[in-house]
Amino acid sequence: MTSSYALVLVGCGKMGGAMLDGWLAEGVSPQSVLVIDPFAKDLPAGVTVIPSADQMPAGASAQVVVLAVKPQMMADVLPLYRPLVSPDTVFLSIAAGKTIAFFRQGLGEQAIIVRAMPNTPAAIGRGMTVLCAGPGISESQKDHCATLLKATGTVAWLDDESLMDAVTAVSGSGPAYVFHMVEAMAQAGIAMGLPADLSMLLARQTVAGAGELLHQSDLPAGQLRQNVTSPGGTTAAALDILMSADGGLPDVMGKAIAAATRRGKELAG
């Protein structure tokens, strides 16, 4: 077993697995990847899998260690990876709420940390990931982390770590808001007499199509909305409700984003 890895992936659940698929599709050699997860199965040929950190080869090293376990497990996991700390190794975390200071406490002050917040569309290469780097990182290491995460979609850097909870609230949790909107649209269609399967098809395809139009268009979202809205028409009647000052979508979404941001700060503790 080799003891020098391009990537060590700690935790290979839905998000970790999506990232792994993206890396391999972009040409990362399976032989250069070590996955540490007691439940990992059916991984691509060539990827080395071990159930726990204590089974790593003596003297193992890595360019990037991706920490993809649940935030609640992170404090117990981190000390196991102190042997991998070096100036040549970046620890890349996707755990919501866990700060760079938290990781330096668990791994040691010399550890080089990048905090990242991806979202589930990474599974189809259409994710959104925001990164924030800790002290000591080189530009080449930042570039390497960005390149890795571009395999799963769009990447942006943030200098102010205090804003990462808001990032989590908007894009990290955001897909769930969209899926719930589809549920609500379908339920409303059923209430208006549509068959359930047709109503769900209409809601799913409308949101998927609108998302793709937004992706491909250079126009602002507000302009795309206006392009659909004829004065005095059906869309305008619906938007009068959704944009109402009393409990309309902006107010509800603002409260939702604020609640998610608060919860991210609570997880930091």
DSSP string covering 85-141: -STT-EEEE--TT--HHHHHHHH-TT-EEEEEE--GGGGGT-EEEEEEE-TT--HHH
What is the rounded CA–CA span in Å between residue 29 and residue 6? 9
Residue 68 marked as a ligand binder: yes
- What does the alpha-carbon distance between residue 152 and residue 172 come to, in Å, rounded to a whole number? 14
pLDDT digits (tens, 9 = 90+) for 107-142: 999 999 999 999 989 888 899 999 999 999 999 999
Q: If you average pLDDT over residues 29-35, what whole number do you get?
A: 94
1: confidence class by pLDDT, cuts 50, 70, 90: very low
- Tell me the domain boundaries of the chain: 4-164, 174-267
Q: pLDDT-based confidence at 227, cuts 50/70/90? A: very high
122 contact partners, CB below 8 Å, separation of at least 6: 15, 18, 19, 22, 129, 152, 153
Whether residue 265 is annotated as binding a ligand: the answer is no
d(CA 245, CA 131): 34
The annotation status of 69 as a binding-site residue, yes or no, is yes
| Kind and range of the H or E run holding 36 | strand 33-36
Instruction: Confirm whether residue 70 is marked as ligand binding.
Output: yes
How many Cβ atoms sit within 10 Å of the Cβ of residue 213?
13
Please give the class, per CATH, of domain 174-267. Answer: mainly alpha
Instruction: Please state, in angstroms and as integers, the Cα–Cα distance from residue 176 to each residue in 52, 119, 215, following that order.
Output: 31, 10, 18
Q: If you average pLDDT over residues 49-64, what whole number do you get?
A: 90
- What is 4-164's CATH number, 3.40.50.720, 3.30.110.30, 3.40.50.300, 3.40.50.360? 3.40.50.720
The model's pLDDT over 81-98, given as tens digits with 9 standing for 90+, comes to 999 999 999 999 998 888
pTM of the entire structure?
0.88
Q: Indicate if the pLDDT at residue 2 is higher than 60.
A: no
